[in-house]
Amino acid sequence: MKDYLVIAYYYIASLEDPHKHVSLHQKFVKNKDIKGRVYISSEGLNGQLSAHVKDADAYFEWLSENYPNISFKIDPSSEHAFCKMTIKFREQLVAFDKKVNLQKRGQHISPEKWDEMLSNMDEDTVLIDVRNDYESEVGHFEKAELPKCNTFREFPKYTEELKKRKNPEKTKVMMYCTGGIRCEYYSAYLIEEGFKDIYQLDGGVINYGHKMGSKHWKGQLFVFDDRLVVPISSEDPETISHCSFCQKKTSTYYNCANMDCNELFLACPDCVKEHKGCCEEKCLSGRIRQFDDTLHPKPFRKLPFEEKQALQRKTQN
């Protein structure tokens, strides 16, 4: 039974007192069955959460009253997708390290129109996956460029290389990310870099999957919550990624059991067990966590303070 909703949203607007919005948010979610993270800056909000259905509607209503025209991407779940609630101020709503003019962004394209544009791409069009490389490895749109960027901060360097290959004045740019917010920033950056004709998928891959299924999509979708990898629609997804050891097809990510590494890596059940949950040989020595051999492991996170204290009391008794 799916009693929870996994929720993603963002709101781009100038907030004069973002710390006030942090306090309002903290006050509203107190004593509600909502977990996740909400980042608030002078440029707006960025939220990824899970909520019990009994509290979700009230949360949607409160957000809509305080942040006009906000939209949500929603998926049902049988459990929370996050382990705790975090609401905090951040200087950067998205970690890009570049100040951009968010008043000048790419044109939002509906999933229906996006599907049509994908079917009619020409040599003057470039389709860019605006996500980290470990995200695109498990799933991406057909014909997309998959920049070798491990973080969003690396996209300006990719842009330098793109400008050497493509004429900013003549190139049509289509871009997408998970929920849409990274495209808001990257489209603004490309405009400042001289690109004129820019289109971004409205609501990101999540919205496309809800509306169009996986017609032009290959693989699955990486998400930044306890699920890690999910299908984008109700259709059975194909697996396009491979075990980093034996190259068998797999879409299961693990955090390296070496606590000084903790990197995400893809592995099949046999190989990850053989390597004791570590991503490479050198990680087998040092501070090693006990390996979790479940088929769908959750990402490793430090326990919330209250749970850590409770566990310590239980151990002492």
Task: Extract the tokens encoding 224.
Answer: 């930044």
CA pair distance 289, 51, nearest whole angstrom: 30
Task: Extract the tokens encoding 259.
Answer: 């606590």
User: Contact 10/44 with Cβ under 8 angstroms?
Assistant: yes
* Cα Rg of the chain (Å, integer): 21
Out of 83, 177, 183, 268, pick the active-site residue.
Answer: 177
Burial class (CB in 10 A: 0-12, 13-18, 19+), 203: buried
- Nearest alpha-carbon partner for 155 in 96, 199, 92: 96
CA pair distance 223, 9, nearest whole angstrom: 13
User: Contact 27/81 with Cβ under 8 angstroms?
Assistant: no
CA pair distance 20, 53, nearest whole angstrom: 27
Q: Where are the alpha helices (DSSP H) in 9-154?
A: 18-29, 53-66, 111-119, 133-136
Direct distance between the N- and C-terminal alpha carbons of the chain, in angstroms, rounded to an integer: 35
Q: Does 256 participate in catalysis according to the annotation?
A: no
Positions marked catalytic: 177
